[in-house]
């Protein structure tokens, strides 16, 4: 005996409990999972916050991944309440015991003036480009959209900055600022892989921007072709969500630290020396800052830069990539960052070790007493300190 649509509806209604929007809200509040069974195109036009999207055509395949326990209460909705009813029948057949279908669906929800959100929609090309991110629950479309809307600032497009620039560009961090006043030197190319042989003599910010653009047109590069100083630091870092410190001088590192603490911007910090690297994350008001770790800089003879002491080219590569990883975690708000921990990498021993860092209550930059006012001269620099950030740094 063939069944009509109304036969099927009657049958479904006799098997599945229907709830109104208010009842659905109560069920979700007491632990029910809310599943949106509409098409992707409908979901993208707007959905109930906290809902999980499993299109009706993928329901049988994907429901066990989303709701493993068949006793879990599940509320389904679609646009008007029909597809969700039939979807609930399928789940009942699969053994789900606590099912409800929301009457009136998303249309009723919206017309009642209830809260809904519109997900950021990635283009078809972006869905392909970032597909491996979209597959990770911790990133997903929302995280990817967040990255595309994020701004990271690189202090230096050198040994540490090069690999981090490449990977943050590849990851789709939408705006990458680069502070560097240098030009590409042949001796840079042993490690500064964002530059190329045919760009020797050209500005590093230009060279890096060219590489980034070729890798990912989603990314906007903001070149700051100047040296970071007390005078311009506030302007340079304004508006960025995270800063990757890859400079070669203590002067720049302290200047950056103090300004970042004042502006409340996290700094992912790394430094390298020959076969060794140090890495940590300074999150203002949460963890220690650079001055908490090193209250004062060493004298120049104890602090040779890479241009004097040398460095195994891959070591800034390793550390720069770890910086990029921490920066992505900061931007996405996932995992535990290295805030309060110093990671030491010894390439010769092939060991990573970790030291606990403490916030110094007397720290002149972030301590209880005295936030460093701009230009207060807490850290005053004598000429010739450290190494130059010149072409061969």
Partner 1 sequence: MSTIRIPPVLRTAAGGSKTVEVAGATVGEAIAALVAQHPALRDQVLAADGSLNRFVNVYVNGKDVRYEQELATPVGPTDTIILLPAMAGGR
- The answer to whether 133 and 225 have CB atoms below 8 angstroms apart is no
Which one of residues 366, 372, 387, 393 is an interface residue with Zn ion (CB under 5 A)?
366
Position 159 contacts partner 1 (CB under 8 A): yes
Strands 175-179 and 267-273: unpaired
The footprint of partner 1 on this chain (CB under 8 A) covers a number of residues equal to: 50
Interface mask toward partner 1 for 274-313; x: CB under 8 A: xxx-x--------------xxxxxxx--xxxxxx-x-x--
Known catalytic membership, residue 289: no
CA distance 359 to 286: 9
Is 259 a binding residue for Zn ion by CB under 5 A? The answer is no
Binding flag, residue 283, Zn ion (CB under 5 A): no
State the minimum distance, in angstroms, from the CB of residue 220 to partner 1: 24
86 binds, among partner 1, Zn ion, none (CB under 5 to 8 A by kind): none
**CB of residue 249 to partner 1, shortest distance in Å:** 6
- Partner whose footprint covers residue 293, from partner 1, Zn ion, none (CB < 5 to 8 Å by kind): partner 1
Contacts to partner 1 from residues 27-86, by CB under 8 A? none
Of 292 and 328, nearer to Zn ion (C-beta) is 292
Give the ranges where 199-278 is alpha helix by DSSP (H). 204-215, 233-237, 250-263
Token code pair at residue 299: 């004298």
State in angstroms the smallest separation of the CB of 23 from Zn ion.
52
Is 158 a residue that touches partner 1 (CB under 8 A)? yes
Cβ closest to partner 1, residue 266 vs residue 386: 386
If the CB atoms of residues 237 and 357 are measured against partner 1, the closer one turns out to be 357
What strands, in cross-sheet order, belong to the sheet with 276-282? 220-224, 175-179, 151-155, 242-245, 267-273, 276-282, 341-346, 351-356
Q: Which of 135, 356, 369, 377 binds partner 1 (CB under 8 A)?
A: 356
Give the number of other Cβ atoms within 10 Å of residue 37's Cβ. 30
Antiparallel, parallel or unpaired: β 267-273 and 242-245: parallel
Instruction: Check binding of 365 to Zn ion (CB under 5 A).
Output: yes
Q: How far is the CB of 366 from Zn ion (least distance, A)?
A: 3
198 DSSP assignment: G
User: What beta strand segments (E) does 217-358 contain?
Assistant: 220-224, 242-245, 267-273, 276-282, 341-346, 351-356
Residue 319 interacts with Zn ion (CB under 5 A): yes or no: no
* Cα-Cα-Cα-Cα dihedral sign, residues 245, 251, 256, 262: positive
CB of 303 vs partner 1, minimal distance in Å? 6
Question: Which of 84, 126, 247, 337 is in the footprint of partner 1 by CB under 8 A?
Answer: 247
In this structure, are residues 271 and 159 in contact, taking their beta carbons and an 8 Å threshold?
Answer: no
Give 36 or 245: the residue with its C-beta nearer to partner 1: 245
- How far is residue 324's CA from residue 300's CA, in Å, rounded to a whole number? 29
Pull the structure tokens for residue 262.
């004042």
Stretch that binds Zn ion, among 66-74, 273-281, 288-296, 320-328 (CB under 5 A): 288-296
- Strands of 125-266, DSSP E: 151-155, 175-179, 220-224, 242-245
Whether residue 171 contacts residue 129, with contact meaning beta carbons closer than 8 Å, is answered with: no
Q: What residues act catalytically? A: 306
Contact footprint for partner 1 (CB under 8 A): 156, 158-161, 188, 192, 245-250, 253, 270-276, 278, 293-299, 302-307, 309, 311, 316, 342, 344, 354-358, 360, 386-387, 389, 393
Contact footprint for Zn ion (CB under 5 A): 289, 291-292, 363, 365-366
């Amino acid at each position: 005996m063939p069944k009509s649509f109304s036969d099927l509806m009657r049958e479904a209604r006799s098997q599945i409990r229907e709830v109104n929007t208010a009842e659905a809200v109560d069920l979700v509040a007491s632990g029910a999972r809310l599943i949106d069974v509409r098409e992707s195109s409908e979901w993208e036009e707007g959905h109930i916050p906290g809902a999980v999207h499993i299109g009706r055509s993928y329901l049988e395949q994907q429901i066990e991944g989303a709701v493993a326990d068949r006793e879990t209460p599940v509320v389904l909705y679609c646009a008007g309440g029909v597809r969700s009813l039939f979807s609930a029948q399928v789940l009942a057949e699969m053994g789900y015991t606590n099912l409800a279908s929301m009457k009136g669906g998303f249309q009723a929800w919206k017309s009642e003036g209830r809260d809904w959100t519109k997900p950021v929609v990635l283009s078809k090309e972006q869905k392909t480009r970032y597909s491996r991110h979209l597959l990770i629950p911790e990133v997903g479309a929302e995280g990817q959209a967040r990255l595309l809307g994020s701004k990271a600032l690189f202090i230096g497009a050198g040994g540490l900055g090069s690999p981090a620039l490449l990977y943050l560009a590849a990851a789709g961090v939408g705006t990458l600022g680069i502070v560097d006043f240098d030009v590409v030197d042949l001796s840079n190319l042993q490690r500064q892989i964002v530059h190329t042989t045919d760009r020797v003599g050209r500005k590093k910010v230009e060279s890096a921007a060219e590489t980034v653009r070729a890798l990912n047109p989603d990314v906007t590069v903001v070149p700051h072709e100047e040296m970071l100083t007390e005078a311009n630091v506030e302007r340079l870092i304004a508006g960025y969500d995270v800063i990757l410190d890859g400079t070669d001088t203590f002067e720049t590192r302290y200047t950056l630290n103090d300004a970042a603490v004042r502006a409340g911007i996290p700094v992912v910090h790394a430094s390298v020396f020959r076969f060794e690297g140090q890495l940590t994350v300074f999150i203002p008001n949460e963890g220690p800052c650079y001055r908490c770790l090193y209250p004062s800089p060493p004298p120049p003879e104890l602090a040779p830069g890479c241009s004097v002491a040398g460095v195994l080219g891959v070591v800034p590569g390793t550390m720069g990539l770890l910086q990029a990883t921490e920066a992505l975690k900061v931007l996405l708000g996932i995992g535990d960052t290295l805030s309060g921990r110093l990671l030491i990498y010894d390439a010769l021993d092939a060991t990573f070790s970790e030291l606990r860092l403490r916030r110094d209550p007397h720290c002149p930059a972030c301590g209880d007493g005295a936030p460093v006012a701009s230009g207060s001269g807490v850290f005053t620099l004598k000429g010739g300190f450290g190494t130059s950030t010149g072409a061969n740094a």
